[in-house]
Structure 1
Amino acid sequence: MSFFLEVLLGGLLAGVMYTMVALGFVLIYRASGVFNFAQGAMVLSAALTFVSLRERGFSFVLAFVATLAVMLLLAVAIERAVLRPLVNAPPMSLFLATLGLSFVLEGLAQTVWGTQVHGLELGISDAPLAAAGLVVSRFDLFAAATAAVLVGVLAVLFRSTRAGVALRAVADDPLAAIAVGIDLRRLWTIVWGVAGLVALVAGLLWGARVGVQFSLSLVVLKALPVLIIGGFSSIPGAIVSGLIVGASEKLADVYVGPHLGGGIESWFPYALALAFLLVRPTGLFGERAVERA
């Protein structure tokens, strides 16, 4: 029983990390209806900027503040240079624009900082910690706690602040939101800036775990099953589905993988997401779109 609980806990901790990555997608999708495929490139850019500044002698705090400033400026620039000119374009055009933007950001970051692989040390030991008869990684606990705090703070802010109320109004009915005086451009700037902050924290945590390298941008693929299961526009959905994906993939890898030859962890979340698409295409917390004929 203790082994099962250890596997489950490890999966839940990983799921919180998946939730943090998915949150950047949810915020932008709620505000503008855009699936920002460039979120992974933003994660890579943040991690690469931070570790490069650290290697050049910046203190941790100074490197973090400088990287945050870069990510905020980058997010605002993306919103103004890409989103605004395409505001009335078809959804597929916006998706392709963010897809192309992801390659531009990856190339720009590696042109500025180089293409070599970097190790990222946050000063947190990865030694196992025994508590209540369970053994878990100290770093996993730290990463999950950091991600949980960030997700919780953002969820509260977007539920109780004026920007959060405006974001919910835009998500429910954009035309009605505009009619009552909500400034969409200002809201988009705020949301993209927050997405830049989320990308920075995700980049630091994932970079410390797997290293800062080109493949770090592929962390967005971990968020896709979370978004499908929870719903593209739901913050609570991202939280719940992140835990579901994290726990299910770990349990499936340990208890089902040996019977299928292993490697199940890499594809099981997508199989689970496909099952949800067949049963509930809008996800657990997504709302069905109702259109008048």
Structure 2
Amino acid sequence: MAGEFFSNLLQLGLSGLAVGSIYSLVALGFVIIYKATDVFNFAQGELMTLGAFICYFFVVQIHIPIFWAFLLTFVATALIGFLTEELFFRPMVGEPIFSVIMVTVGLSVFLKGLIGLCWGYMFRKLPSVVPEAPVSFAGLIISPAHLATIVLAGILILGFACFFKFSNLGIGMRAVANDQDASLLMGISVRKIFGLSWAVSAVVAAIGGIMLSSMTYLHPSSSFVGIKVFPAVVLGGLDSIPGAIVGGLIVGVVENLAGGYLGGDVKEITSFVILIAILMIKPYGLFGKEEIERV
């Protein structure tokens, strides 16, 4: 009995780790924009879904080889992210933060409608690039799509960590996130960094959308995942890139365990229960920087 319990636990945990890897990537996009611009982007889920549909367009509708389709998708989503900042958010510089957030909400509604207008509301499926037959290992049944998602997400997260730590652009993004005035004095183009942040965030979201649709399906409502990622961002800390990764993994695993042992209905609300608990106990998250204002 105990062996079966632990086997089920590992099975659910492994599946949750795959979903959590996607949550981590989408959460990473949230944090990149927030650290650079102090804007919490409520349209991140729609950018994720739009990226997946663009990939679907290249692969299924015009039959471009999948490797080139991925590259074209990343270029297209980076351009969309850059233009989004240029057209919608640069004119909002200096405006109240609530107004800027409402622009992201409006952008969310606009993108969801645009996706429905271009591709309709039928469920679609991206072709799988890995075998679909499950693999058995040490008594566990592992989906190749889940395994590929975990490995690819790990590689991408490591790559982004190296980008932020060693590249000039990555260091510039960190500098702007830390102090915009000092960055300007050091000759860093803050406007350029803002555009780059949105471009990188859009690409990260597209990668998460492609991974998610390869495991499940593609539909305009897939953008709801962006809402479910909020608890992961808050859990890790709004201004912490490692926190976004850890928060996404924790939420994915806990959500899947709750669904496995308590039912699917409980699974849908688990992430928001975590959100409420974190706000009550540790509102700055596990890795967030606590700000103390003295009067």
The alignment's TM-score, normalised by the length of structure 1, stands at 0.92
Unaligned runs of 5+ in 1: none
Cα distance in 1 between the residues matched to 2:73 and 2:18: 26
Task: Name which of 268, 271, 277 aligns with 1:269.
Answer: 271
Cα deviations by residue, 1:232-261 (Å, 9 ceiling, x for unpaired) = 111110111112112222223333x16xxx
Cα distance in 2 between the residues matched to 1:2 and 1:145: 21
Task: Name which of 151, 162, 179 aligns with 1:145.
Answer: 151
Identity %: 36
Measured after TM superposition, the shift of residue 275 of structure 1 is 0.8
Where do residues 1-293 of structure 1 align in structure 2 (5 Å cutoff)?
Answer: 1-54=6-59, 55-255=61-261, 257=262, 263-293=265-295
Of 93-102 and 181-190, the range deviating more from structure 2: 181-190
Does the aligned pair in 2 maintain the 1:16–1:144 contact within 8 Å?
yes
Does the aligned pair in 1 maintain the 2:115–2:220 contact within 8 Å?
no
Cα deviations by residue, 1:125-181 (Å, 9 ceiling, x for unpaired) = 333211223222111111121122112211221122222222222222233323333
Measured after TM superposition, the shift of residue 115 of structure 1 is 4.0
Query: How many aligned positions are there?
Result: 289
Cα distance in 2 between the residues matched to 1:163 and 1:236: 18
- Could you tell me which amino acid in structure 2 is paired with residue 34 of structure 1? V
Unaligned runs of 5+ in 2: 1-5
Over the aligned positions, Cα root-mean-square deviation in angstroms equals 1.8
Of 194-203 and 78-87, the range deviating more from structure 2: 194-203
Cα distance in 2 between the residues matched to 1:108 and 1:8: 36
Measured after TM superposition, the shift of residue 114 of structure 1 is 4.0
**3-state DSSP of counterpart to 1:177:** helix
Cα distance in 1 between the residues matched to 2:62 and 2:187: 47
Does the aligned pair in 1 maintain the 2:235–2:285 contact within 8 Å?
yes
Cα distance in 2 between the residues matched to 1:275 and 1:42: 28
